Amino acid sequence: MVLILFFTTMTYKFSFKFEKNCKKIAMTSYSLIGVMSGTSTDGLDLAYTTFSPVSKSSEKWSFELHHAKTYPYPEELIRSIRQAKELNGYALKELDIILGKFIGETVNRFVDEFSIDRTAVHAIASHGHTIFHQPSERITVQIGNGQVIASLTGIKTINNFREKDVLSGGQGAPLVPIGDLLLFSDLADSFLNLGGFANITSIRDNTPIAFDICPCNLPLNMYASLIGYPYDHNGELGRSVPNHNTGLVSTLNHLPYYSKKWPKSLGVEWLEEEFAPLLEIDELTAQEKLRICYDHISEQIAGSIRKLQAQKVLVTGGGAKNKFLVELIRQKSNSEILIPDSQLIDFKEAIVFAFLGVLFLIGQPNCLKSVTGADRDVCGGNEFLP
């Protein structure tokens, strides 16, 4: 039975000691708008959140989520983003500006809709949209021009959180573990995000380790769309097909990526070049391929949970609402699976990106070498003034 947690408030606290040579926090609180665009292009998540240190030594923080909303992408922009990796340099730069304009205009809409005082917002922290991610080549590219966002909104903007870590030899991903450690570690010992890709954070001795597990919503949504649905609601399409193609599931499970040790991360390039070709079998229907993906994804996730010896796993991201996928994960793992309220499921990443912005503003590391494999902890991000 899946345990469901209902949070009556969005205020959490954590304890963490920074290194002695780190800056002390001068301000009592920081209010930021976190902006998250996931690989599934299912919308732009915005979260306006205030973060407050509980003590002068900054050993404890709390946060309050004031407003959060997801704004859908225009269909034309979705098509452009999905084709972005095929663009030449000029066209990609043009799309970078177009997406920055959309993000800036969406932030303005969000601010007006919830009557947010712009002068109270310390910064916008924007993830952007990942187009290329090849850390082995020291390349990662997120578009959504920061200067355009800052100029349109009149609010300082921080973006490009991954590049500094990648240039320091890291994976540049996942970025959320710093938030798992500093904001949510009183709720669970491990944190599973079911987005376009599934990734997990596990905290050991106050140190997080994390990695991308496998593809998740990207292939599920793709095969659901071939059947005529934008996504598989509650996993009903997958559930209706019996589990019978164990041979192909086994083939997927033996992809070389899965035998690599962490830190490691995945990109759309890997999905298209190594994963998807194995499912290009004419004899299988799209619905059968969808079911194969469910079995593969749940086995990889459950295997990672067992390997990490996770006791309590907090699940967020769009896949946390997929009842069939959650059931399969629980059946194949021995851990307690915790499902929070829908607000935390939908906006945890946007909240954490706002927090990455706080750490950038105070000069603290927001990307940890224990997670990414970089040669040092880094304070990643680029700042743009209005």
Each residue of 173-190: pLDDT tens digit? 889 999 998 899 889 999
- DSSP 8-state secondary structure symbol assigned to residue 186: T
Q: What's the pLDDT score for residue 57?
A: 63
Q: Is the pLDDT confidence value at 41 over 90?
A: no
Tell which wins on pLDDT, 340 or 58.
340
Backbone torsions φ then ψ of 201, nearest 5 degrees: -120, 135
Average pLDDT over residues 346-351: 96
Q: Is the pLDDT confidence value at 164 over 80?
A: yes
Backbone torsions φ then ψ of 340, nearest 5 degrees: -80, -175
Average pLDDT over residues 202-218: 93
Q: In a 10 Å sphere around its CB, with 0-12 CB exposed, 13-18 middle and 19+ buried, how is residue 292 labelled?
A: buried
Q: Is the pLDDT confidence value at 22 over 60?
A: no
Across 54-63, 115-124, 199-208, least confident range: 54-63
Q: What's the pLDDT score for residue 27?
A: 66
Q: Are 188 and 312 in contact (CB under 8 A)?
A: yes
Distance CA 134, CA 46 (A): 27
Q: Is the pLDDT confidence value at 385 over 70?
A: yes
* Widest Cα–Cα separation across the chain: 64
Any idea what the Cα angle at residue 287 is, between residues 281 and 290, rounded to 5°?
80
Q: Is the pLDDT confidence value at 375 over 70?
A: yes
Domains (range + CATH), the chain: 8-171+349-384 (3.30.420.40), 188-339 (3.30.420.40)
Q: What pTM does this model have?
A: 0.87
**pLDDT-derived band of residue 315, with 50, 70 and 90 as boundaries?**
very high
Mean pLDDT (the chain, rounded)? 91
SS3 106: helix
Q: Are 277 and 219 in contact (CB under 8 A)?
A: no
Distance CA 191, CA 277 (A): 30
Tell which wins on pLDDT, 54 or 96.
96
Residue 66's H or E segment, with its range, is strand 60-71
Average pLDDT over residues 215-241: 96
How many residues appear in the chain? 386
Average pLDDT over residues 134-143: 93
Residue 191's H or E segment, with its range, is strand 190-194
Distance CA 359, CA 199 (A): 22
Residues above pLDDT 90, as percent of the chain? 82
Q: What's the pLDDT score for residue 186?
A: 87
If phi > 0 it is left, if psi is from -120 to 50 it is alpha, else beta; for residue 101 that is alpha
Distance CA 100, CA 146 (A): 6
pLDDT in tens, 266-294: 989 999 999 999 999 999 999 999 999 99
Read off the tokens for 331: 């059946």
Across 14-18, 26-30, 53-57, 179-183, least confident range: 14-18
Q: What's the pLDDT score for residue 1?
A: 42
User: Within a 13 Å sphere around the CA of 223, how many CA atoms are in the beta-carbon half?
Assistant: 24
